[in-house]
Chains A and B, each alone.
Chain A
Protein backbone atom coordinates (compact mmCIF):
# COMPACT_ATOMS: atom_id res chain seq x y z
CA UNK A 1 0.00 0.00 0.00
CA UNK A 2 2.82 2.39 0.86
CA UNK A 3 4.43 2.02 -2.55
CA UNK A 4 1.11 2.31 -4.36
CA UNK A 5 0.33 5.54 -2.53
CA UNK A 6 3.79 6.99 -3.29
CA UNK A 7 3.35 6.29 -6.99
CA UNK A 8 -0.27 7.50 -6.96
CA UNK A 9 0.68 10.73 -5.20
CA UNK A 10 3.44 11.40 -7.68
CA UNK A 11 1.17 10.84 -10.69
CA UNK A 12 -1.56 12.95 -9.13
CA UNK A 13 0.79 15.87 -8.55
CA UNK A 14 2.23 15.51 -12.03
CA UNK A 15 -1.11 16.41 -13.59
CA UNK A 16 -0.82 19.88 -12.10
CA UNK A 17 2.26 20.60 -14.19
CA UNK A 18 1.06 18.77 -17.27
CA UNK A 19 -0.03 20.88 -20.28
CA UNK A 20 -2.22 18.02 -21.50
CA UNK A 21 -4.07 17.93 -18.21
CA UNK A 22 -4.78 21.64 -18.45
CA UNK A 23 -5.83 21.37 -22.08
CA UNK A 24 -8.14 18.47 -21.24
CA UNK A 25 -9.66 20.27 -18.27
CA UNK A 26 -10.11 23.39 -20.40
CA UNK A 27 -11.96 21.41 -23.10
CA UNK A 28 -14.27 19.94 -20.49
CA UNK A 29 -15.13 23.19 -18.76
CA UNK A 30 -15.36 25.40 -21.86
CA UNK A 31 -17.67 23.02 -23.75
CA UNK A 32 -19.79 22.24 -20.72
CA UNK A 33 -19.99 25.94 -19.95
CA UNK A 34 -21.16 26.62 -23.49
CA UNK A 35 -23.76 23.86 -23.39
CA UNK A 36 -24.94 25.09 -20.03
CA UNK A 37 -25.33 28.69 -21.16
CA UNK A 38 -27.22 27.60 -24.28
CA UNK A 39 -29.55 25.43 -22.25
CA UNK A 40 -30.21 28.14 -19.71
CA UNK A 41 -30.57 30.82 -22.34
CA UNK A 42 -32.75 29.03 -24.92
CA UNK A 43 -34.11 25.83 -23.39
CA UNK A 44 -35.46 26.90 -20.05
CA UNK A 45 -37.32 30.12 -21.07
CA UNK A 46 -39.19 28.36 -23.89
CA UNK A 47 -40.07 25.51 -21.60
CA UNK A 48 -38.52 22.90 -23.92
CA UNK A 49 -36.16 21.93 -21.09
CA UNK A 50 -37.03 21.25 -17.49
CA UNK A 51 -34.51 22.26 -14.84
CA UNK A 52 -32.32 19.21 -14.45
CA UNK A 53 -28.99 18.90 -12.67
CA UNK A 54 -27.92 16.38 -15.27
CA UNK A 55 -28.22 18.69 -18.26
CA UNK A 56 -24.45 18.84 -18.79
CA UNK A 57 -23.79 15.18 -18.14
CA UNK A 58 -24.54 13.81 -21.61
CA UNK A 59 -22.02 16.06 -23.35
CA UNK A 60 -19.64 15.38 -20.46
CA UNK A 61 -19.79 11.61 -21.07
CA UNK A 62 -18.86 12.09 -24.73
CA UNK A 63 -16.03 14.48 -23.89
CA UNK A 64 -14.71 12.11 -21.23
CA UNK A 65 -14.57 9.26 -23.72
CA UNK A 66 -12.26 11.35 -25.87
CA UNK A 67 -10.32 13.17 -23.16
CA UNK A 68 -9.52 10.54 -20.51
CA UNK A 69 -7.25 8.62 -22.91
CA UNK A 70 -5.22 11.83 -23.20
CA UNK A 71 -4.84 11.84 -19.43
CA UNK A 72 -3.69 8.23 -19.35
CA UNK A 73 -1.69 7.89 -22.57
CA UNK A 74 1.63 8.82 -21.06
CA UNK A 75 1.34 6.90 -17.80
CA UNK A 76 3.26 3.83 -18.93
CA UNK A 77 4.20 4.74 -22.51
CA UNK A 78 6.41 7.58 -21.37
CA UNK A 79 8.13 5.46 -18.75
CA UNK A 80 8.93 2.89 -21.41
CA UNK A 81 10.09 5.57 -23.84
CA UNK A 82 12.37 7.26 -21.30
CA UNK A 83 13.67 4.05 -19.76
CA UNK A 84 12.41 5.06 -16.33
CA UNK A 85 10.29 1.91 -16.14
CA UNK A 86 13.56 0.01 -15.80
CA UNK A 87 14.39 2.21 -12.84
CA UNK A 88 11.02 1.63 -11.18
CA UNK A 89 11.05 -2.10 -11.74
CA UNK A 90 14.57 -2.60 -10.44
CA UNK A 91 13.52 -0.89 -7.22
CA UNK A 92 11.75 -3.18 -4.74
CA UNK A 93 8.42 -2.48 -6.41
CA UNK A 94 6.04 -5.04 -7.91
CA UNK A 95 4.71 -4.59 -11.43
CA UNK A 96 1.08 -4.41 -10.33
CA UNK A 97 1.92 -1.82 -7.69
CA UNK A 98 3.18 0.48 -10.43
CA UNK A 99 0.02 -0.11 -12.50
CA UNK A 100 -2.36 0.35 -9.58
CA UNK A 101 -0.52 3.42 -8.30
CA UNK A 102 -0.65 5.12 -11.66
CA UNK A 103 -4.32 4.33 -12.10
CA UNK A 104 -5.12 5.70 -8.64
CA UNK A 105 -3.18 8.89 -9.36
CA UNK A 106 -5.11 9.52 -12.57
CA UNK A 107 -8.39 8.59 -10.87
CA UNK A 108 -7.71 11.15 -8.18
CA UNK A 109 -7.14 13.85 -10.76
CA UNK A 110 -10.34 12.98 -12.65
CA UNK A 111 -12.27 13.11 -9.38
CA UNK A 112 -11.10 16.68 -8.99
CA UNK A 113 -12.35 17.50 -12.49
CA UNK A 114 -15.69 15.74 -11.90
CA UNK A 115 -16.08 17.63 -8.64
CA UNK A 116 -15.54 20.82 -10.62
CA UNK A 117 -18.41 20.00 -12.98
CA UNK A 118 -20.75 19.92 -9.98
CA UNK A 119 -20.82 23.71 -10.25
CA UNK A 120 -23.45 23.55 -13.01
CA UNK A 121 -26.10 21.64 -11.01
CA UNK A 122 -25.44 23.94 -8.06
CA UNK A 123 -26.19 26.98 -10.20
CA UNK A 124 -29.39 25.47 -11.59
CA UNK A 125 -30.54 24.47 -8.15
CA UNK A 126 -29.94 27.97 -6.90
CA UNK A 127 -31.95 29.76 -9.55
CA UNK A 128 -34.91 27.46 -10.10
CA UNK A 129 -37.90 26.63 -7.99
CA UNK A 130 -38.36 24.05 -6.52
CA UNK A 131 -34.77 23.09 -7.39
CA UNK A 132 -33.49 19.88 -8.90
CA UNK A 133 -33.76 16.21 -8.08
CA UNK A 134 -30.69 15.71 -5.91
CA UNK A 135 -31.13 11.94 -5.76
CA UNK A 136 -31.02 11.47 -9.52
CA UNK A 137 -28.05 13.81 -9.71
CA UNK A 138 -26.13 11.87 -7.08
CA UNK A 139 -26.88 8.55 -8.77
CA UNK A 140 -25.78 9.95 -12.15
CA UNK A 141 -22.54 11.17 -10.62
CA UNK A 142 -21.87 7.82 -8.93
CA UNK A 143 -22.29 6.25 -12.36
CA UNK A 144 -19.96 8.83 -13.85
CA UNK A 145 -17.26 8.02 -11.31
CA UNK A 146 -17.60 4.31 -12.10
CA UNK A 147 -17.46 5.02 -15.83
CA UNK A 148 -14.37 7.19 -15.46
CA UNK A 149 -12.63 4.51 -13.39
CA UNK A 150 -13.12 2.07 -16.27
CA UNK A 151 -12.11 4.57 -18.94
CA UNK A 152 -8.89 5.33 -17.08
CA UNK A 153 -8.08 1.64 -16.65
CA UNK A 154 -8.63 1.06 -20.38
CA UNK A 155 -6.40 4.04 -21.13
CA UNK A 156 -3.71 2.72 -18.83
CA UNK A 157 -3.87 -0.67 -20.50
CA UNK A 158 -3.45 1.00 -23.91
CA UNK A 159 -0.51 2.96 -22.52
CA UNK A 160 1.16 -0.25 -21.37
CA UNK A 161 1.17 -1.55 -24.94
CA UNK A 162 3.21 1.25 -26.48
CA UNK A 163 6.14 3.49 -25.89
CA UNK A 164 4.46 5.95 -28.25
CA UNK A 165 1.84 8.15 -26.62
CA UNK A 166 -0.35 8.97 -29.66
CA UNK A 167 -0.58 5.24 -30.38
CA UNK A 168 -1.71 4.66 -26.79
CA UNK A 169 -4.29 7.45 -27.13
CA UNK A 170 -5.80 6.12 -30.34
CA UNK A 171 -5.91 2.57 -29.05
CA UNK A 172 -7.73 3.67 -25.91
CA UNK A 173 -10.22 5.75 -27.91
CA UNK A 174 -10.71 2.78 -30.24
CA UNK A 175 -11.47 0.39 -27.40
CA UNK A 176 -13.78 2.87 -25.68
CA UNK A 177 -15.76 3.75 -28.81
CA UNK A 178 -16.06 0.05 -29.67
CA UNK A 179 -17.46 -0.65 -26.21
CA UNK A 180 -19.92 2.15 -26.83
CA UNK A 181 -21.21 1.06 -30.24
CA UNK A 182 -21.58 -2.64 -29.37
CA UNK A 183 -24.33 -1.46 -27.04
CA UNK A 184 -26.45 -1.06 -30.19
CA UNK A 185 -26.46 -4.83 -30.59
CA UNK A 186 -29.29 -5.13 -28.13
CA UNK A 187 -31.67 -4.30 -30.95
CA UNK A 188 -30.97 -7.86 -32.07
CA UNK A 189 -33.02 -10.69 -30.57
CA UNK A 190 -30.51 -13.53 -30.54
CA UNK A 191 -28.75 -14.51 -27.34
CA UNK A 192 -25.49 -13.74 -29.06
CA UNK A 193 -26.34 -10.13 -29.84
CA UNK A 194 -27.70 -9.69 -26.32
CA UNK A 195 -24.43 -11.02 -24.90
CA UNK A 196 -22.40 -8.63 -27.01
CA UNK A 197 -24.72 -5.78 -26.13
CA UNK A 198 -24.02 -6.44 -22.48
CA UNK A 199 -20.55 -5.04 -23.11
CA UNK A 200 -22.08 -1.73 -24.18
CA UNK A 201 -20.40 0.58 -21.72
CA UNK A 202 -22.90 3.45 -21.98
CA UNK A 203 -25.95 1.23 -21.64
CA UNK A 204 -24.73 0.44 -18.16
CA UNK A 205 -24.59 4.14 -17.49
CA UNK A 206 -27.74 5.51 -19.10
CA UNK A 207 -30.16 2.63 -18.42
CA UNK A 208 -30.23 2.94 -14.66
CA UNK A 209 -27.54 5.02 -12.99
CA UNK A 210 -28.30 8.09 -15.07
CA UNK A 211 -32.01 7.63 -14.38
CA UNK A 212 -31.39 7.75 -10.65
CA UNK A 213 -31.50 3.99 -10.09
CA UNK A 214 -28.39 2.43 -8.62
CA UNK A 215 -28.23 -1.21 -9.65
CA UNK A 216 -25.42 -3.26 -8.20
CA UNK A 217 -25.04 -5.11 -11.53
CA UNK A 218 -24.06 -1.91 -13.32
CA UNK A 219 -21.52 -0.99 -10.68
CA UNK A 220 -20.15 -4.54 -10.81
CA UNK A 221 -19.87 -4.22 -14.59
CA UNK A 222 -17.74 -1.07 -14.31
CA UNK A 223 -15.68 -2.54 -11.47
CA UNK A 224 -15.02 -5.73 -13.44
CA UNK A 225 -14.07 -3.79 -16.55
CA UNK A 226 -11.69 -1.68 -14.48
CA UNK A 227 -10.15 -4.71 -12.79
CA UNK A 228 -9.78 -6.55 -16.09
CA UNK A 229 -8.05 -3.62 -17.80
CA UNK A 230 -5.70 -3.12 -14.83
CA UNK A 231 -4.93 -6.82 -14.75
CA UNK A 232 -4.15 -6.82 -18.47
CA UNK A 233 -1.96 -3.74 -18.07
CA UNK A 234 0.13 -5.38 -15.38
CA UNK A 235 0.35 -8.55 -17.47
CA UNK A 236 1.72 -6.46 -20.34
CA UNK A 237 4.26 -4.82 -18.03
CA UNK A 238 5.26 -8.25 -16.81
CA UNK A 239 5.49 -9.63 -20.33
CA UNK A 240 9.01 -8.21 -20.64
CA UNK A 241 9.98 -11.21 -18.57
CA UNK A 242 9.11 -13.76 -21.20
CA UNK A 243 9.40 -11.70 -24.38
Chain B
Protein backbone atom coordinates (compact mmCIF):
# COMPACT_ATOMS: atom_id res chain seq x y z
CA UNK B 1 0.00 0.00 0.00
CA UNK B 2 2.80 2.38 0.86
CA UNK B 3 6.17 2.01 -0.84
CA UNK B 4 8.87 4.52 -0.08
CA UNK B 5 12.26 4.35 -1.74
CA UNK B 6 15.29 6.50 -0.89
CA UNK B 7 13.10 9.45 -0.07
CA UNK B 8 14.90 12.71 0.71
CA UNK B 9 13.63 16.18 1.44
CA UNK B 10 15.62 19.31 2.12
CA UNK B 11 14.35 22.67 3.28
CA UNK B 12 16.98 24.94 1.80
CA UNK B 13 20.21 23.42 3.01
CA UNK B 14 18.62 21.60 5.90
CA UNK B 15 18.10 17.90 5.17
CA UNK B 16 14.80 16.99 6.82
CA UNK B 17 14.80 13.47 5.37
CA UNK B 18 17.80 11.50 4.17
CA UNK B 19 17.11 8.56 1.89
CA UNK B 20 14.49 6.77 3.92
CA UNK B 21 12.88 3.59 2.61
CA UNK B 22 10.05 1.54 4.02
CA UNK B 23 6.87 -0.28 3.07
CA UNK B 24 3.49 -0.88 4.59
CA UNK B 25 1.03 -3.60 3.63
CA UNK B 26 -2.75 -3.49 3.55
CA UNK B 27 -4.28 -3.96 6.99
CA UNK B 28 -1.10 -2.98 8.71
CA UNK B 29 -0.77 -0.29 11.36
CA UNK B 30 2.62 1.28 10.96
CA UNK B 31 4.00 3.47 13.73
CA UNK B 32 6.37 6.30 13.08
CA UNK B 33 8.26 6.93 16.25
CA UNK B 34 10.61 9.82 16.78
CA UNK B 35 11.22 13.07 18.59
CA UNK B 36 9.94 16.39 17.30
CA UNK B 37 11.77 17.45 14.18
CA UNK B 38 12.74 13.90 13.23
CA UNK B 39 11.04 14.11 9.85
CA UNK B 40 7.72 12.45 10.65
CA UNK B 41 5.48 15.28 9.49
CA UNK B 42 7.63 15.86 6.41
CA UNK B 43 7.27 12.22 5.39
CA UNK B 44 3.52 12.37 5.90
CA UNK B 45 3.18 15.57 3.90
CA UNK B 46 5.02 13.92 1.03
CA UNK B 47 2.84 10.81 1.20
CA UNK B 48 -0.34 12.90 1.19
CA UNK B 49 0.75 14.83 -1.89
CA UNK B 50 1.04 18.14 -0.03
CA UNK B 51 4.62 18.61 -1.16
CA UNK B 52 7.01 16.64 -3.32
CA UNK B 53 10.25 15.03 -2.15
CA UNK B 54 13.63 16.46 -3.17
CA UNK B 55 14.75 13.01 -4.29
CA UNK B 56 13.55 9.43 -4.23
CA UNK B 57 10.09 8.09 -4.88
CA UNK B 58 6.99 7.17 -2.96
CA UNK B 59 3.95 5.21 -4.04
CA UNK B 60 0.67 5.11 -2.20
CA UNK B 61 -1.99 2.59 -3.26
CA UNK B 62 0.04 2.00 -6.39
CA UNK B 63 0.20 5.65 -7.48
CA UNK B 64 3.23 7.89 -7.50
CA UNK B 65 2.84 10.79 -5.07
CA UNK B 66 4.33 13.29 -7.53
CA UNK B 67 3.16 12.07 -10.93
CA UNK B 68 -0.30 10.93 -9.86
CA UNK B 69 -0.84 13.19 -6.88
CA UNK B 70 -4.59 13.56 -7.33
CA UNK B 71 -5.10 9.78 -7.51
CA UNK B 72 -3.08 9.40 -4.32
CA UNK B 73 -5.06 12.12 -2.56
CA UNK B 74 -8.33 10.43 -3.48
CA UNK B 75 -7.22 7.31 -1.66
CA UNK B 76 -5.63 8.83 1.41
CA UNK B 77 -7.28 10.12 4.56
CA UNK B 78 -5.07 12.56 6.43
CA UNK B 79 -5.22 14.04 9.89
CA UNK B 80 -2.53 16.73 10.28
CA UNK B 81 -1.00 17.40 13.65
CA UNK B 82 -2.99 20.55 14.35
CA UNK B 83 -6.50 19.46 13.45
CA UNK B 84 -7.58 21.73 10.62
CA UNK B 85 -11.13 22.86 11.30
CA UNK B 86 -13.21 25.80 10.24
CA UNK B 87 -14.48 27.17 13.56
CA UNK B 88 -17.58 28.75 12.06
CA UNK B 89 -18.86 25.51 10.55
CA UNK B 90 -20.78 22.90 12.50
CA UNK B 91 -19.34 19.41 12.60
CA UNK B 92 -21.87 18.32 9.99
CA UNK B 93 -21.27 21.31 7.71
CA UNK B 94 -17.54 20.74 7.93
CA UNK B 95 -17.91 17.11 6.89
CA UNK B 96 -20.33 18.08 4.14
CA UNK B 97 -17.80 20.55 2.72
CA UNK B 98 -14.93 18.05 2.79
CA UNK B 99 -17.16 15.23 1.56
CA UNK B 100 -18.38 17.23 -1.42
CA UNK B 101 -14.80 18.15 -2.38
CA UNK B 102 -14.02 14.45 -2.21
CA UNK B 103 -17.12 13.38 -4.15
CA UNK B 104 -18.42 11.08 -1.43
CA UNK B 105 -21.59 9.30 -2.52
CA UNK B 106 -24.71 9.36 -0.33
CA UNK B 107 -22.90 12.02 1.65
CA UNK B 108 -25.52 12.64 4.33
CA UNK B 109 -25.79 8.96 5.25
CA UNK B 110 -22.03 8.61 5.23
CA UNK B 111 -21.65 11.65 7.51
CA UNK B 112 -24.03 10.08 10.02
CA UNK B 113 -22.02 6.89 9.80
CA UNK B 114 -18.64 8.46 10.53
CA UNK B 115 -20.05 10.78 13.21
CA UNK B 116 -21.39 7.69 14.91
CA UNK B 117 -18.09 5.88 14.50
CA UNK B 118 -16.09 8.63 16.20
CA UNK B 119 -18.79 9.19 18.82
CA UNK B 120 -19.78 12.68 17.73
CA UNK B 121 -23.38 11.93 16.74
CA UNK B 122 -24.72 14.11 19.57
CA UNK B 123 -22.49 17.05 18.66
CA UNK B 124 -23.12 17.15 14.92
CA UNK B 125 -24.70 20.62 15.10
CA UNK B 126 -22.02 22.10 17.39
CA UNK B 127 -19.67 24.62 15.86
CA UNK B 128 -16.27 23.06 15.40
CA UNK B 129 -14.74 26.05 17.19
CA UNK B 130 -16.70 25.18 20.33
CA UNK B 131 -15.57 21.55 20.49
CA UNK B 132 -12.95 20.50 23.04
CA UNK B 133 -9.53 19.41 21.83
CA UNK B 134 -10.46 15.74 22.12
CA UNK B 135 -13.67 16.18 20.16
CA UNK B 136 -11.88 18.20 17.49
CA UNK B 137 -9.44 15.34 17.14
CA UNK B 138 -12.41 13.03 16.63
CA UNK B 139 -13.87 15.38 14.07
CA UNK B 140 -10.53 15.42 12.26
CA UNK B 141 -10.54 11.65 12.29
CA UNK B 142 -14.11 11.62 10.96
CA UNK B 143 -12.95 13.86 8.11
CA UNK B 144 -10.06 11.51 7.37
CA UNK B 145 -12.39 8.47 7.30
CA UNK B 146 -15.19 10.11 5.36
CA UNK B 147 -14.24 8.96 1.86
CA UNK B 148 -13.38 5.40 2.93
CA UNK B 149 -9.66 5.84 2.18
CA UNK B 150 -7.43 2.84 1.58
CA UNK B 151 -4.65 4.54 3.47
CA UNK B 152 -5.04 6.55 6.64
CA UNK B 153 -2.24 8.89 7.68
CA UNK B 154 -2.46 10.32 11.18
CA UNK B 155 0.05 12.82 12.51
CA UNK B 156 0.30 12.61 16.30
CA UNK B 157 -3.36 11.60 16.68
CA UNK B 158 -3.30 11.55 20.49
CA UNK B 159 -1.25 14.66 21.22
CA UNK B 160 -2.83 17.02 23.72
CA UNK B 161 -5.64 14.68 24.72
CA UNK B 162 -6.52 13.63 28.25
CA UNK B 163 -5.94 9.99 29.22
CA UNK B 164 -9.54 8.90 28.67
CA UNK B 165 -9.60 10.50 25.23
CA UNK B 166 -6.26 8.93 24.36
CA UNK B 167 -7.65 5.49 25.10
CA UNK B 168 -10.73 6.26 23.02
CA UNK B 169 -8.72 7.44 20.02
CA UNK B 170 -6.35 4.48 20.24
CA UNK B 171 -9.27 2.05 20.25
CA UNK B 172 -10.74 3.85 17.29
CA UNK B 173 -7.48 3.60 15.34
CA UNK B 174 -7.22 -0.11 16.11
CA UNK B 175 -10.77 -0.59 14.90
CA UNK B 176 -10.45 1.31 11.64
CA UNK B 177 -7.03 -0.23 11.05
CA UNK B 178 -8.37 -3.71 10.52
CA UNK B 179 -9.29 -3.25 6.86
CA UNK B 180 -6.96 -0.51 5.66
CA UNK B 181 -3.40 0.64 6.02
CA UNK B 182 -2.79 3.07 8.83
CA UNK B 183 0.34 5.08 9.32
CA UNK B 184 0.57 7.12 12.46
CA UNK B 185 3.29 9.15 14.09
CA UNK B 186 3.91 9.48 17.77
CA UNK B 187 6.69 10.30 20.16
CA UNK B 188 5.30 8.08 22.87
CA UNK B 189 6.97 4.68 22.93
CA UNK B 190 4.20 2.86 24.80
CA UNK B 191 1.65 4.19 22.34
CA UNK B 192 3.53 2.73 19.41
CA UNK B 193 3.81 -0.53 21.29
CA UNK B 194 0.11 -0.63 22.01
CA UNK B 195 -1.38 0.16 18.62
CA UNK B 196 1.15 -0.65 15.95
CA UNK B 197 1.93 -3.87 14.15
CA UNK B 198 5.28 -2.49 13.13
CA UNK B 199 7.32 0.47 14.28
CA UNK B 200 9.82 2.65 12.47
CA UNK B 201 12.16 4.66 14.63
CA UNK B 202 13.16 7.85 12.89
CA UNK B 203 15.69 10.39 14.05
CA UNK B 204 17.23 13.34 12.25
CA UNK B 205 15.65 12.27 8.98
CA UNK B 206 16.96 8.71 9.07
CA UNK B 207 15.32 5.43 9.95
CA UNK B 208 17.28 3.94 12.81
CA UNK B 209 15.31 0.78 13.41
CA UNK B 210 12.32 -1.04 11.99
CA UNK B 211 10.62 -3.99 13.61
CA UNK B 212 7.59 -5.25 15.48
CA UNK B 213 7.14 -3.58 18.86
CA UNK B 214 7.92 -6.82 20.70
CA UNK B 215 11.16 -7.43 18.84
CA UNK B 216 12.18 -3.84 19.23
CA UNK B 217 11.58 -3.99 22.92
CA UNK B 218 13.65 -7.11 23.51
CA UNK B 219 16.35 -5.75 21.26
CA UNK B 220 16.47 -2.68 23.39
CA UNK B 221 16.09 -4.41 26.73
CA UNK B 222 19.79 -3.89 27.32
CA UNK B 223 19.01 -0.27 27.78
CA UNK B 224 16.85 -1.12 30.75
CA UNK B 225 18.22 0.15 34.01
CA UNK B 226 17.50 -1.24 37.44
CA UNK B 227 17.35 1.22 40.26
CA UNK B 228 18.38 -0.17 43.65
CA UNK B 229 18.18 1.55 47.01
CA UNK B 230 19.18 -0.06 50.28
CA UNK B 231 19.97 0.88 53.86
CA UNK B 232 23.68 0.84 52.99
CA UNK B 233 25.50 3.72 51.27
CA UNK B 234 25.84 3.94 47.49
CA UNK B 235 29.53 3.12 47.27
CA UNK B 236 29.52 -0.12 49.22
CA UNK B 237 26.35 -1.16 47.39
CA UNK B 238 28.08 -0.54 44.09
CA UNK B 239 30.99 -2.61 45.24
CA UNK B 240 28.72 -5.45 46.33
CA UNK B 241 26.76 -5.54 43.08
CA UNK B 242 29.92 -5.12 41.02
CA UNK B 243 30.95 -8.60 42.01
CA UNK B 244 27.94 -10.11 40.23
CA UNK B 245 28.76 -11.51 36.77
CA UNK B 246 25.77 -9.99 34.99
CA UNK B 247 25.92 -6.37 36.13
CA UNK B 248 27.48 -4.40 33.34
CA UNK B 249 27.35 -0.79 34.29
CA UNK B 250 26.83 0.66 37.73
CA UNK B 251 26.08 4.28 38.30
CA UNK B 252 25.84 5.96 41.69
CA UNK B 253 22.62 7.83 42.35
CA UNK B 254 21.13 9.53 45.39
CA UNK B 255 20.71 6.85 48.08
CA UNK B 256 21.56 3.90 45.83
CA UNK B 257 22.75 2.78 42.43
CA UNK B 258 21.52 2.24 38.89
CA UNK B 259 22.54 -1.01 37.31
CA UNK B 260 22.24 -2.25 33.77
CA UNK B 261 22.41 -5.89 32.79
CA UNK B 262 23.02 -7.80 29.55
CA UNK B 263 20.33 -7.54 26.84
CA UNK B 264 17.30 -9.74 27.31
CA UNK B 265 18.18 -10.88 30.78
CA UNK B 266 16.36 -9.82 33.92
CA UNK B 267 18.90 -9.34 36.66
CA UNK B 268 16.45 -8.22 39.32
CA UNK B 269 16.16 -11.63 41.12
CA UNK B 270 19.90 -12.02 41.52
CA UNK B 271 20.26 -8.47 42.80
CA UNK B 272 17.52 -9.00 45.35
CA UNK B 273 19.09 -12.25 46.57
CA UNK B 274 22.54 -10.71 46.86
CA UNK B 275 21.28 -7.81 48.92
CA UNK B 276 19.29 -10.01 51.26
CA UNK B 277 22.24 -12.37 51.70
CA UNK B 278 24.47 -9.41 52.56
CA UNK B 279 21.99 -8.64 55.34
CA UNK B 280 21.01 -5.24 53.96
CA UNK B 281 17.47 -3.82 53.89
CA UNK B 282 16.16 -3.54 50.35
CA UNK B 283 14.27 -0.24 50.03
CA UNK B 284 13.71 -0.05 46.30
CA UNK B 285 14.25 -2.33 43.34
CA UNK B 286 12.68 -1.06 40.14
CA UNK B 287 13.26 -1.20 36.44
CA UNK B 288 13.27 2.33 35.14
CA UNK B 289 11.32 2.14 31.91
CA UNK B 290 13.36 2.68 28.79
CA UNK B 291 12.91 6.25 27.79
CA UNK B 292 12.63 7.09 24.14
CA UNK B 293 15.49 9.52 24.51
CA UNK B 294 17.75 6.76 25.68
CA UNK B 295 16.76 4.54 22.79
CA UNK B 296 17.61 7.30 20.37
CA UNK B 297 20.85 7.92 22.12
CA UNK B 298 21.69 4.25 21.95
CA UNK B 299 20.65 3.88 18.33
CA UNK B 300 22.41 7.03 17.18
CA UNK B 301 25.57 5.97 19.03
CA UNK B 302 25.39 2.61 17.31
CA UNK B 303 24.94 4.29 13.99
CA UNK B 304 27.80 6.69 14.51
CA UNK B 305 30.04 3.82 15.57
CA UNK B 306 29.04 1.90 12.45
CA UNK B 307 29.79 4.85 10.22
CA UNK B 308 33.16 5.38 11.89
CA UNK B 309 34.20 1.77 11.38
CA UNK B 310 33.21 1.79 7.71
Q: Which residues of A contact B (CB under 8 A)?
A: 3, 6-7, 10, 14, 17, 82-94, 240-241, 243
Contacts and interface: CB of A to CB of B under 8 A. Distances in A.
Interface of B: 11, 45, 48-52, 70, 73-74, 76, 78, 80, 82, 84-86, 88, 97-98, 100-103, 143
Contacts of A87: 78, 80, 84, 98, 143
Nearest to A6: B100
Given A14-B88, A83-B82, A87-B84, A92 B51 contact: no
Contacts of B82: 83
A34 to B, nearest CB: 32
A7 B11 CA distance: 30
A241 B100 contact: no
A204 B82 CA distance: 46
Nearest to B11: A243
A241 B85 contact: no
A91 B101 contact: yes
A82 B100 CA distance: 21
A240 B48 CA distance: 14
B78 A90 contact: yes
A10 B88 CA distance: 11
Nearest to A238: B51
Given A90-B49, A90-B73, A90-B80, 14 more contacts: A10-B97, A82-B85, A82-B86, A83-B84, A85-B84, A86-B45, A89-B49, A90-B78, A91-B98, A92-B70, A92-B73, A93-B73, A240-B50, A241-B51
A7 B98 CA distance: 10
B74 A92 contact: yes
A88 to B, nearest CB: 8
A91 B102 contact: yes
A89 B85 CA distance: 14
**Residue picked from B45, B50, B78, B82, most chain A C-beta under 10 Å:** B50
Given A92-B74, A94-B70, A241-B51, A86 B80 contact: yes
A93 B80 contact: no
Contacts of A17: 88
5 contacts: A82-B86, A84-B85, A91-B102, A92-B103, A241-B52
Contacts of B86: 82, 84
**Residue picked from A10, A86, A91, A240, most chain B C-beta under 10 Å:** A91
A83 B83 CA distance: 8
A243 B98 CA distance: 27
Contacts of A10: 97
A82 B84 contact: yes
B125 to A, nearest CB: 15
Nearest to A90: B48
Nearest to B102: A91
A17 B48 CA distance: 32
Given A14-B88, A92-B70, A86 B50 contact: yes
A155 B103 CA distance: 30
A98 to B, nearest CB: 10
B4 to A, nearest CB: 17
B277 to A, nearest CB: 61
Contacts of B78: 87, 90
Contacts of A91: 73, 98, 101-102
Nearest to B48: A90
Contacts of B80: 83, 86-87, 90
A90 B73 CA distance: 6
Given A92-B74, A94-B70, A243-B11, A86 B101 contact: no
**Residue picked from A82, A87, A93, most chain B C-beta under 10 Å:** A87
Contacts of B85: 82, 84
Contacts of A92: 70, 73-74, 101-103
A6 B97 contact: yes
Nearest to A17: B88
Contact of A93 (B45, B88, B101, B143): B101
B159 to A, nearest CB: 14
**Residue picked from B48, B49, B84, B98, most chain A C-beta under 10 Å:** B84
Contacts of B11: 243
A17 B127 CA distance: 13
Contacts of B97: 6, 10
A147 to B, nearest CB: 30
Contacts of B48: 90
Nearest to B87: A82
Contacts of A6: 97, 100-101
Nearest to B101: A91
Contacts of A86: 45, 50, 80, 84
B40 to A, nearest CB: 15
Nearest to B70: A92
B288 to A, nearest CB: 37
A19 to B, nearest CB: 11
A204 to B, nearest CB: 37
A16 to B, nearest CB: 11
A10 B85 CA distance: 14
